[in-house]
């Protein structure tokens, strides 16, 4: 029998330092994996890679003047959006001026409910890209925009369409697709919220009767008009927390 020549075999010996380094590398890999998973999760809700997602906890109605109507109004807004995030079929429309906290609360709701956040601008882009073809902003996989529309119209997840009235939805083609989205979600009774700066009358005019009748269905839709809330962007928030 041939004898094994141990001189030709190099066996790596692990020093305690090697071992420590290996353990650190493993830890780093785990952290990276968790970060990637978090990012995936974030993007699956429609958020951008570096977007900060504000929480309900960070929302402080006391930033509004405590002794005024605006405080009560904004406290009520917080409670309403929280309830919406917990309901599985509610409809919510937020109408109010700039900086009162609409987007903050709707993003918090989407994060809590693992829903999908979208702006009217993004909706418009998606629908227009139907005709030229595009890549999915999140997955980088091509999705036919009509297919995309039908997916978001039928998904059970909470859906937010923010910033309606910044001039995007209310144009022929986009409006007709938006009407289809609203109609499908309405018929399926799926939780949907929209937010706008437009006043009630202008919203009615811009979106048309069919959409308005649905978002105002008294059986399960709430329209919240914020009339007193102040623009919190004008307030130095850090001092007040």
Ligand X SMILES: Nc1ncnc2c1ncn2[C@@H]1O[C@H](COP(=O)(O)OP(=O)(O)OP(=O)(O)O)[C@@H](O)[C@H]1O
| Distance in Å, CB of 104 to ligand X, minimum | 3
Residues 175, 181, 200, 58, CA torsion sign: negative
202 binds ligand X (CB under 6 A): no
Number of residues that bind ligand X (CB under 6 A): 18
Give 3-state DSSP helix, strand, coil % of the chain, rounded to 5: 55, 10, 35
Q: Which residues pair with 116 in a beta bridge?
A: 159
The correct pick among 103, 125, 150, 212 for binding Mg ion (CB under 5 A) is: 103
d(CA 120, CA 34): 31
Q: Which residues pair with 159 in a beta bridge?
A: 116, 192
Distances (CA, A) of 48 to 98, 161, 200: 22, 15, 30
| Distance in Å, CB of 109 to ligand X, minimum | 12
Q: Which is nearer to ligand X, 101 or 191 (CB)?
A: 101
Q: Which is nearer to ligand X, 46 or 101 (CB)?
A: 101
Instruction: Convert residues 98-137 into a mask of x (bound to ligand X by CB under 6 A) and - (unbound).
Output: xxxxxxx---------------------------------
The site for ligand X (CB under 6 A) is made up of: 54, 58-61, 63, 74, 98-104, 197, 232-233, 237
């Amino acid at each position: 029998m041939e004898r094994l020549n141990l001189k030709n075999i190099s066996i790596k010996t692990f020093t305690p330092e090697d071992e420590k380094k290996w353990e650190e590398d493993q830890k780093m890999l785990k952290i990276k994996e968790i970060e990637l998973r978090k990012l995936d999760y974030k993007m699956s809700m429609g958020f951008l890679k570096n977007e900060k997602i504000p929480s309900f906890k960070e929302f402080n109605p006391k930033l509004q003047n405590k002794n005024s109507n605006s405080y009560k109004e904004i406290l009520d807004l917080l409670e309403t959006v929280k309830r919406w995030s917990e309901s599985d079929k509610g409809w919510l429309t937020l109408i109010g001026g700039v900086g009162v906290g609409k987007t903050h609360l709707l993003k918090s709701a989407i994060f809590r409910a693992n829903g999908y956040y979208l702006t009217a601008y993004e909706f418009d882009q998606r629908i227009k890209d139907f005709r030229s073809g595009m890549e999915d902003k999140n997955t980088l996989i091509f999705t036919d925009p009509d297919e995309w529309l039908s997916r978001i119209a039928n998904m059970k997840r909470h859906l937010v369409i923010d910033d309606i009235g910044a001039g995007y939805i209310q144009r022929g083609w986009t409006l007709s697709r938006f009407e289809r989205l609203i109609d499908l979600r309405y018929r399926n009774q799926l939780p949907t919220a929209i937010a706008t700066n437009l006043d009630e009358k202008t919203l009615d005019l811009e979106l048309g009767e069919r959409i308005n009748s649905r978002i105002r269905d008294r059986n399960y839709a709430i329209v919240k008009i914020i009339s007193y809330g102040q623009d919190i962007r004008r307030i130095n928030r850090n001092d007040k927390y």
